[in-house]
Chain A
Amino acid sequence: NAGVTQTPKFRVLKTGQSMTLLCAQDMNHEYMYWYRQDPGMGLRLIHYSVGEGTTAKGEVPDGYNVSRLKKQNFLLGLESAAPSQTSVYFCASSHPGQRSSYGYTFGSGTRLTVV
């Protein structure tokens, strides 16, 4: 049981480049989330999805797009990377009724550096 898997684990981008971060979960969870973690800022929600084919903006959505074409996958895209997007990105998933009981299941994170 892999839980939540994020790929890649590390990436260095040049300003203006694009990339997609993949999050895959095998727990049949309905809800999926993308957070970014920056020093002194805690975790901030970028986008989230409450089901296949649905997405919604979180606290810091600018510069990012997401897609949830399949229930098990949640993609985070950076169309034109900026140094301000240097961060550690975490994906998480949860299930209705369980999200308040068991919390999120987090991926191991993706460390992204934009130079």
Chain B
Amino acid sequence: AQKVTQAQTEISVVEKEDVTLDCVYETRDTTYYLFWYKQPPSGELVFLIRRNSFDEQNEISGRYSWNFQKSTSSFNFTITASQVVDSAVYFCALLTSGTYKYIFGTGTRLKVLA
């Protein structure tokens, strides 16, 4: 079975705090891809990052960083020095090789308070 679990339904932080959003996935496939999407209050879905199963390098993009650990089947997302504009729902998604559809987690709502 393939599954994505985002156990944190909602997180509230104060501006400038660091915050980590957890994503745990399940798949038996050896080739797969993991994604993070952001959904701001305006409602659109914005692609943030893709990681494939053969690349466990962590990635940093500005204040955003991603920690991929196959040993724990996790693909966590950290925002450093959070800002109010980071307030959004964040979705983690899994795509396995040979399939057409993504499996989305239920999302984590992040509220960054000024």
**How many chain-A residues does the 8 Å CB contact rule pick out?**
27
Interface status of B37 (Cβ within 8 A of chain A): yes
Within 8 A of B (CB), among A89-115: 90, 92, 99-106, 108-109, 111
Most chain A CB inside 10 Å of its own CB: which residue of B33, B50, B97, B102: B102
Contact with B along A33-70 (1 / 0, CB 8 A): 10000001111110010100000101100000000000
Residues in A whose Cβ lies below 8 Å from that of B33: 100
Contact A100 B44, beta carbon cutoff 8 Å: no
Within 8 A of A (CB), among B41-97: 43-45, 47, 50, 52, 91, 93, 95, 97
Given known contacts A48-B100, A106-B44, A109-B44, A99 and B95 CB-to-CB distance under 8 angstroms: yes
Contact B104 A103, beta carbon cutoff 8 Å: no
Nearest-CB residue, chain A, relative to B52: A100
Given known contacts A42-B106, A100-B95, A90 and B45 CB-to-CB distance under 8 angstroms: yes
Within 8 A of A (CB), among B7-24: 9
| A74→B88 CA distance, assembly (Å) | 28
| A50→B50 CA distance, assembly (Å) | 21
Contact B44 A40, beta carbon cutoff 8 Å: no
Residues in A whose Cβ lies below 8 Å from that of B101: 33, 45, 48, 58-59
Nearest-CB residue, chain B, relative to A56: B100
**B interface residues (Cβ-Cβ under 8 A, vs A):** 9, 33, 35, 37, 43-45, 47, 50, 52, 91, 93, 95, 97, 100-102, 104-107
14 extra interface residue pairs, beta carbon distance < 8 Å, beyond A42-B104, A43-B102: A33-B100, A45-B102, A50-B100, A99-B95, A99-B100, A100-B95, A101-B50, A102-B50, A103-B35, A103-B37, A103-B50, A105-B47, A108-B43, A109-B45
What are 5 residue pairs bridging A and B, where the CB atoms are less than 8 Å apart in the complex?
A33-B101, A45-B102, A106-B45, A108-B43, A109-B44
